[in-house]
């Protein structure tokens, strides 16, 4: 059991680091060289559609609205995002991807699709439930750990 623990621990730590580094190399191409990995994740959180308010995006990313505002200012200046105030409540700010932002969103989404499809292509139908159970456990750990850290 100790060997399994050591192997799983090593693989998880290595994977987390590699995913972050490789994702940045894969998604920050010449076309999107003015973006960071964090920018791409903000773009992903905004998503497609008519826009979202800043509070819901900050909650989704588990960051403060102040931190999101800093990132959003940069994305607005780079023309990936546009913002507008709610007509009903002028204090509420909505953000929406521009056509340039939508292009970046699809570029990032394609990287995730390729990564996921590569895994699915290597599994048979019996292995998929085991992977799903494993990923659920990992997700539960991260969610529980994040909740413990909040004030």
Residue 150 has pLDDT above 80, yes or no: no
Is 68 exposed, middle or buried (CB count within 10 Å of its CB: 0-12, 13-18, 19+)? buried
Write down the pLDDT at residue 4. 87
CB under 8 Å to 66, separation ≥6 — which residues? none
Domains, the chain, ordered by start: 2-149 (1.10.10.10)
24-31 average pLDDT score: 83
Question: SS3 sequence, 129-144?
Answer: HHHHHHHHHHHHHHHH
Question: 117-134 pLDDT, tens per residue?
Answer: 999 999 999 999 999 999
The residue written with tokens 């773009």 in the block is 43
Using the predicted structure, report yes or no on whether residue 149 has a pLDDT greater than 70: no
pLDDT of residue 91: 82
82 HSE (CA, 13 A, CB side): 8
Residue appearing with tokens 């499809």: 117
What pLDDT, on the 0 to 100 scale, is given for residue 57? 95
Reported as a pLDDT band with limits 50, 70 and 90, residue 26 is confident
Tell me the average pLDDT across 13-21: 86
74-118 pLDDT, tens digit per residue, is 999 999 999 988 888 888 889 999 999 999 999 999 988 998 999
Could you tell me if residue 77 is left (phi over 0), alpha (psi between -120 and 50 degrees) or otherwise beta? alpha
Confidence of residue 147 (pLDDT cuts 50, 70, 90): low
Choice between 90 and 52, residue whose per-residue pLDDT is larger: 52
Which residues, other chains included, contact 86 with Cβ-Cβ below 8 Å and sequence gap of 6+?
53, 92, 93, 94
Give me the DSSP letters along 47-113: -SSS-EEHHHHHHHHTS-HHHHHHHHHHHHHTTSEEEEE-SS-TT-EEEEE-HHHHHHHHHHHHHHH
């Amino acid at each position: 059991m100790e060997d399994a623990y050591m192997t799983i621990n090593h693989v998880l730590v290595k994977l987390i680091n590699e995913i972050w580094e490789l994702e940045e190399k894969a998604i920050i191409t010449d076309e999107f060289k003015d973006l960071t990995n964090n920018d791409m994740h903000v773009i992903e959180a905004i998503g497609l559609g008519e826009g979202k308010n800043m509070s819901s995006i900050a909650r989704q990313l588990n960051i403060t609205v102040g931190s999101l505002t800093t990132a959003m200012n940069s994305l607005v200046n780079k023309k990936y995002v546009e913002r507008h105030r709610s007509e009903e409540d002028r204090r509420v700010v909505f953000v929406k991807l521009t056509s340039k932002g939508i292009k970046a969103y699809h570029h990032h989404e394609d990287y995730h699709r390729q990564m996921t499809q590569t895994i699915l292509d290597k599994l048979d139908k019996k292995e998929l439930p085991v992977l799903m159970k494993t990923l659920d456990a990992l997700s539960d750990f991260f969610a529980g750990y994040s909740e413990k850290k909040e004030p």
